[in-house]
Amino acid sequence: MFRDEALIEVAAGKGGDGMSSFHREKYVQKGGPDGGDGGRGGDVILAASESVHSLLRVARAHRYLAKDGRPGGTNQRSGRSAEHVRIEVPPGTQVFDAEHGNLLFDLDERDSQVVIVKGGKGGLGNQHFATSTIQVPTTAYPGKPGEKRHLRLELKVIAEVGLLGLPNAGKSTFLSTVTAAQPKIASYPFTTLVPQVGMVDLSGYRSLLLADLPGLVKGASDGLGLGHTFLKHLERCSVLLQFVDVHPEAVDDPVEAFEVLDRELQLVSSDLHSRPRLVVGTKHFEDEGSSERLKCLDEAVQAAGHQPVVGLSSVLGTGVPGLLEQLWKLVHPGDIIPS
Ligand SMILES: Nc1nc2c(ncn2[C@@H]2O[C@H](COP(=O)(O)OP(=O)(O)OP(=O)(O)O)[C@@H](O)[C@H]2O)c(=O)[nH]1
Ligand SMILES: [Mg+2]
């Protein structure tokens, strides 16, 4: 199960109350004020963790309440501060104020974290309030209330390369051959229902993060198929990798398949449409008929201003190493490949 949105309520703990008391000891009359301070209320912290991939569990709990600080004690003892509540979310989670809609934080780096609501400070005990004129102070302050907030969390997967294409184009198969990810693969459309991220290891300690997305169909921008809801996961990808099936038995004509998706991208977001994009002709090299189809696709793709189409067979592995190097250069323009 996967969820990329969650509505939650977070409340930090109240500070413990300060104590009002006076020192008592045998043979000591009129001991001075010795009321301790209250402890701090617990904070609620949102933390990006690589071991979390979905907002499903976060959404289930719905309310996150930190405990209150303990009150101060006699004999100048401070109350204990409450523990913080830590909510782990996937890297790439954006935090919005649910009431006003504004973005509060973007946990767009691994291991980043933020105190989203602060616990209240503990109140001061009466030990602080003795002066030359007030020697029997009874004043002690109550703890401050903790902050509360309603939040909307939205996950935008972090990856350098986003895989997109019509259903069945072979996106998940490619991901499974180049990374350790094990996405579901099948010959029916919409096998992939949720985004999946996988890491490719390249020579010289280089790597590439790929995100596999559910297939898009004509009309996706109007909400058809799985709609464009998943396209937001492409937002953080610096390069898009568009898959077009060039196998002679493919249902869709490759040029049409390229153009359908190109139009949908344009309708959804001009920013995504103009992002660096590499088009691959998949299921190539396995059948003679695919060469002609790849050539037609290449003409259409270059006419649209893109780099030449890369032929690829995930099953045979043909074209894969060259494609990965080309992607790395697109993601890291100007960088020198370490030897
Ligand atoms: N012959 C051949 N078949 C392939 C290749 N890549 C994928 N397939 C087959 O194509 C079908 C669809 O593959 P998937 O990887 O599930 O396609 P997808 O693009 O992820 O599909 P959705 O998740 O539904 O959008 C499966 O039956 C795969 O075995 C390839 O390079 N050669
Ligand atoms: Mg898939």
Residue 111: what residue type?
Answer: D
Q: Where are the domains of the chain?
A: 1-155, 161-331
CA distance 50 to 199: 13
Share of the chain above pLDDT 90, in %: 68
Question: Which residue's alpha carbon is at the smallest distance from atom 6 of ligand 1?
Answer: 170
Q: Would you say 283 and 170 are in contact if contact means Cβ atoms under 8 Å apart? A: yes
pLDDT band at 180 (very low <50, low <70, confident <90, very high): confident
pLDDT at residue 30 tops 70? yes
Whole-number pLDDT of residue 227:
59
| Protein fold of 1-155 | Spo0b-associated Gtp-binding Protein; Chain: A, (2.70.210)
Q: What is the DSSP letter of 66?
A: P
Please state the rounded mean pLDDT for residues 74-88: 97
- How close is the Cα of 92 to the center of ligand 1, in Å? 28
Whole-number pLDDT of residue 206:
92
Topology match between the domains 1-155 and 161-331: no
- How close is the Cα of 19 to the center of ligand 2, in Å? 62
Whole-number pLDDT of residue 1:
66
Whole-number pLDDT of residue 68:
98
Please state the rounded mean pLDDT for residues 328-335: 90
Taking the alpha carbons at both ends of the chain, their separation in whole angstroms is 41
- How close is the Cα of 310 to the center of ligand 2, in Å? 19
DSSP collapsed to 3 states, 113-146: EEEEECCCCCCCCHHHCCCCCCCCCCCCCCCCCC
Please name every residue paired with 153 in a beta bridge, in sequence order, or none if there are none. 6, 95
Please state the rounded mean pLDDT for residues 160-185: 91
Q: Which of ligand 1's atoms lies nearest the C-alpha of 163?
A: 19
Ramachandran bin of 285, using left for φ above 0, alpha for ψ from -120 to 50, beta for the remaining angles: left
Whole-number pLDDT of residue 186:
81
Asked if residue 186 has its Cβ within 6 Å of ligand 1, the reply is yes
CATH architecture of the domain with range 161-331? 3-Layer(aba) Sandwich (3.40)
**Token pair of 300 as six digits:** 């259409």
User: Could you tell me which of 67, 109, 108, 57 has the C-alpha nearest to residue 87?
Assistant: 57
Q: Among 78-82, 194-198, 244-248, where is mean pLDDT lowest?
A: 194-198
pLDDT digits (tens, 9 = 90+) for 258-316: 999 999 888 888 999 999 999 999 999 887 888 999 999 999 999 999 999 999 999 99
What mean pLDDT value characterizes the chain?
Answer: 91
Asked if residue 307 has its Cβ within 6 Å of ligand 1, the reply is no
Please state the rounded mean pLDDT for residues 219-233: 74
Q: Would you say 148 and 65 are in contact if contact means Cβ atoms under 8 Å apart? A: no
- How close is the Cα of 230 to the center of ligand 1, in Å? 19
Q: Would you say 308 and 294 are in contact if contact means Cβ atoms under 8 Å apart? A: no
Which of 2, 163, 164, 172 to probe ligand 1 with, by most ligand atoms within 8 A of CB? Answer: 172
Whole-number pLDDT of residue 232:
83
Share of the chain above pLDDT 70, in %: 99
pLDDT digits (tens, 9 = 90+) for 84-98: 999 999 999 999 999
CA distance 2 to 233: 13
CB-side neighbour CA atoms (13 Å) of 50: 7
CA distance 3 to 59: 8
Q: Which of ligand 1's atoms lies nearest the C-alpha of 212?
A: 20
Whole-number pLDDT of residue 95:
97
pLDDT at residue 2 tops 80? no
- How close is the Cα of 67 to the center of ligand 1, in Å? 51
pLDDT digits (tens, 9 = 90+) for 189-224: 878 888 888 999 999 889 999 999 888 878 777 777
Whole-number pLDDT of residue 111:
81
Whole-number pLDDT of residue 169:
93
Q: Which of ligand 1's atoms lies nearest the C-alpha of 166?
A: 25
Please state the rounded mean pLDDT for residues 146-171: 93
Residue with tokens 């933020």: 114
Q: Would you say 180 and 198 are in contact if contact means Cβ atoms under 8 Å apart? A: yes
CA distance 198 to 171: 12
User: Could you tell me which of 312, 338, 308 has the C-alpha nearest to residue 324?
Assistant: 312
Please state the rounded mean pLDDT for residues 29-51: 93
